[in-house]
Amino acid sequence: MKKRYLSYQDTIDFLTEAMAKYPDLIRLQNIGDTHEGRPIMMVTISQDVAYADLKPALLYTGTIHAREWIGIELAVNFIQYLLDNYPSNPEVVEALTRNTLYIVPCLNPDGFEYSRNHFSFWRKNRRDNGDGTFGVDLNRNFGINFRQSTNTQSNIYGGPAAFSEPETQAIKQFVELHNNIKIALDYHSQGNVFFPAHKFNHEAEIEGTDLNILCANMAKEIHKVTRRQYGIHRGKPPANLIHGSGREYYYDRGILSTVVEVGSRNIPDYLINMSQSVDENIPALLYALGTAINYSDLAPKRPENFTVRDISANHAELVWDHNPEDDGCYYQVYRNEAPKDPCTRDNLIAITSQSEYTDKQLKSGHRYYYNLRKVNRVNRVKSPFAPEVKIKTNLEKDEFSFTLFPTPEKIGYTGEFLATQNAEHFGNNSLFIGVNKTKGICYGVIDYDMSRIPTDAQIKDAAFSLYPMNRVGAKIENYGEWSVSILDPDDISDITDFEQIHNAVALQTLGDAIDSDQLTQGIWKNWRFSALEKQLIQDQLEKGRLLLRLQGPDNLPQGHDSQMMQFDIGYGRFGGGIHYRPNLDLIYHRRPNALTCNATVCHTVSHIRVTQGELQSGFDADGQRIFGHVEFMLPQLSERTDIVITDAYFVLESEATNGISQPIRFTVGMVDNDKLSYNSIKCSELIEFLGYEVSSHELVKTPKQTFMFDSSARQHLEDLHDSGKPINLIIRATSASRQQDAIVQWKTLSADETTVYPQLVVEYIERHKQPMDSPENFQASLEDGLVRLTWDNPDSEDWVGTYVVRNSFHPPRSPFDGVKLYAGKDGYTLDRFGNTNIPKYYSVFSYDNVPNYSVPATLKFSTDEVTPVIYDEFEAQDEMEQRYREGD
């Protein structure tokens, strides 16, 4: 065995010496005895340990599975770290002053010693089952959803009854006597992933946000040390969730609880892998210990009714309740661009005493995840988090979006040694990507149908997303990388053929490859396309396909048998549902139409007269301004739908400059004034300036000048078009000195008399600007134990579909704020995973082909009552779905 690993007796000796050396800081007690008579040792560490049970506490349990030695090793090293850094490290001092650490280094001493001395792969305890077999899986022996079994040979045999084992009885009795425990961490190996607790009903719980953020912030501390990325994975329906585990027992008692799976092997090389795992987890443990107080009675109450009030392309208005008892607190607002990201100083966007906050300068068509908590002004104790608010910003006026998903026959993996089976993998299995000794080299293949994207689309933004679901087969730390590349579909006649995929030359690899220590389960991986990669998508539009190859390591070091990652495809036996399909999210423009308009009329306006048919501006003999006036009338650009003006410019050409001795500058402005009297123009307020002013000196060098419409001017131009009103432009002269008889003659007809000047050039697209009507008659009822939702879809040829979302905490005002239940053309759906005993909100949105989403129709459901929700005025969110569904 690895000589650097401690025995159980070595651990007890270390703890005994530590208690003798630090009697005010550490307490050691036996909480029970095992089948073979070994004591189950509980360590208590806190400043002034005699009062430890009065403080909020973190419970650490390790090595409940005998072969997972990381639990006991990390426990001993963390205890040593605390003792070595108290009182010199202020973080340690604060953590132990405010909180208590309860730590069971090894909850399975008998099994651990059997693993050390006889069979290293042993998992269970050493109970004599009386039939020639030994052992109970202690992490299946707790009382929550305990499952009876008679298969005593199984590695996951849970015992004859819940809490039948002395080990689980001991920890149960301790926990029930210590209501101050607020966080429980159960350390296992392997996988580099957090498995937060669940309640088996596949509904979001009020503590779900706290659990995700606790794990994400611990993962950030780990990442600081070794750059390794830990996943966060709560499981997802219809997965067969673990029964009888300690994690769910603690969670059922109101304790935030998670399993932490450490490393890539159960008993790794100590000097390299185990020491890394220990070192990277110590800061994470210190962080968790310091936060226990935030979930105690000493903390402020969780903020209530946190939601979004309004969404645009570039901002989101967030609101929440502020009660009189909150006057001693302020609020912290956090923003992330991905789910399960941490909430730390790096993404703290606001500290406010108000009950609302507007987040500005956001990107259009992007997802954002907001978190909120209170902080006591005096002692800085923080509250639990409000349930997370998720949004997707609206599209800009000239943008469209579409999310592509592969059909079952167009996604799968192809293996080197699986020639006769590869076709069966498509649509029926996960993506196994990497290499092992059974399958050989394996590639993932995804063939997207691009035919639904308009051929004139101009790709503005593109992102590919993939859900890693299991990394247990990636057994080698820091070895290999995974990448996504674009293939030419013309080179591949059969996407299930390994040789064709293996030998294909990539057109481009997307972004950077992901190293093995950065690729973990439970967190979506996203590849955002560069300008070159977006151009490749553009090229594939003509072919109607985008073919992606996913690849990992293609060889194994001596003595290793697997470096394989498993990714979800949404279909088949292991699929988590259609929401877990790899997706390609596109934002694009349409190629605009162009229209050149000639002026309908021109005038020169002086204080003496108004002259039609000529166009001059400058100063007359009296030094009074002479104005040029130009009128345009846009035709109706579309009879079928709205139009959006994407660009516009005014073309003006000087014909002669007379009497200009000092510089004159000319500006062009848009006015809302159709009166042509001198005083009305002189006193009229400019609505918008067009482009930049031009000097008389520049006109001599470049007679033809272009004045661009900015976004505000384009909007006004669009409004005038929609209302059928003329566009009035004024050319105005300005000078720093008094000028007389200084005039520019502007051209109104080209030399060959074929072109009329000035000109207005307008580029535009056809696009709906307003959302559709909301679905009507939204109702909920119970049908065979499920919630059945029905509605009436809008009667409009522009209607594309309806989107239904569920939220357990507040009415969803965004289609992306909750769990998606349905998108399509039906007028009903069933909530197949909702718990009918838990009150919840449902919203239904209609959408068009942009897509613009309607104001939602919303109801609150409970078994006692179904209540429609009436909103204040609300601007509907403008977007289409690329779906992340939070797991349970």
Which two tokens mark 12?
A: 């007890």
- Average confidence score pLDDT of the chain: 92
Q: Which amino acid is at 109?
A: P
Same fold, 8-123+139-147+164-295 and 307-397: no
According to DSSP, the β-strands at 514-515 and 389-392 are: unpaired
pTM attached to this predicted model? 0.92
> What is the C-alpha radius of gyration for the chain, rounded to an integer number of angstroms?
34
Check: CB of residue 39 under 8 Å from CB of residue 33. Answer: yes
Evaluate if residue 490 carries a pLDDT over 80: yes
Domain 8-123+139-147+164-295 has CATH 3.40.630.10: yes
Contact partners, residue 89, CB within 8 Å, separation at least 6:
none
pLDDT at 198: 87
Report the relative pairing of strands 742-746 and 57-62 from DSSP bridges. Answer: unpaired
Helix H or strand E segment including 723: helix 711-723
Where residue 270 falls among pLDDT bands split at 50, 70, 90?
low
Q: Say how many CA atoms lie within 13 Å of 563 toward its Cβ.
A: 23
Q: Quote the percentage of the chain above a pLDDT of 70.
A: 96
Yes or no: say if 83 and 20 are a contact pair by the CB < 8 Å rule: no
Query: Which of 335-344, 497-506, 877-886 bottoms out in mean pLDDT, i.e. has the lowest?
Result: 877-886
At 386, the amino acid letter reads A
Count, in order, helices (H) and strands (E) of the chain. Answer: 13, 49
| Rounded (10°) angle between helices 90-98 and 275-291 | 50
The fold adopted by the segment(s) 776-869 is Immunoglobulin-like (2.60.40)
Which percentage of the chain shows pLDDT scores above 90? 79
pLDDT tens per residue, range 754-766 = 777 899 999 999 9
How many whole angstroms separate alpha carbon 688 and alpha carbon 532? 37
Q: How many CB atoms lie within 10 A of CB 242?
A: 20
Question: Domain spans of the chain?
Answer: 8-123+139-147+164-295, 307-397, 403-580, 600-757, 776-869
What's the CATH class of domain 307-397? mainly beta
The count of other CB atoms within 10 Å of the CB of residue 573 is 7
CATH for 403-580 (3.30.910, 1.10.3470, 2.60.40, 2.60.120):
2.60.120
Among 166-170, 188-192, 378-382, which is the least confidently predicted range?
Answer: 188-192
Q: Degrees (nearest 5) of the Cα angle 366, 370, 372?
A: 170
Quick one: DSSP state of residue 270?
Answer: I
What DSSP string describes 336-360?
A: ESSTT---SGGGEEEEESSSEEEE-
pLDDT of residue 223 exceeding 50: yes
pLDDT at residue 632, as a whole number: 95
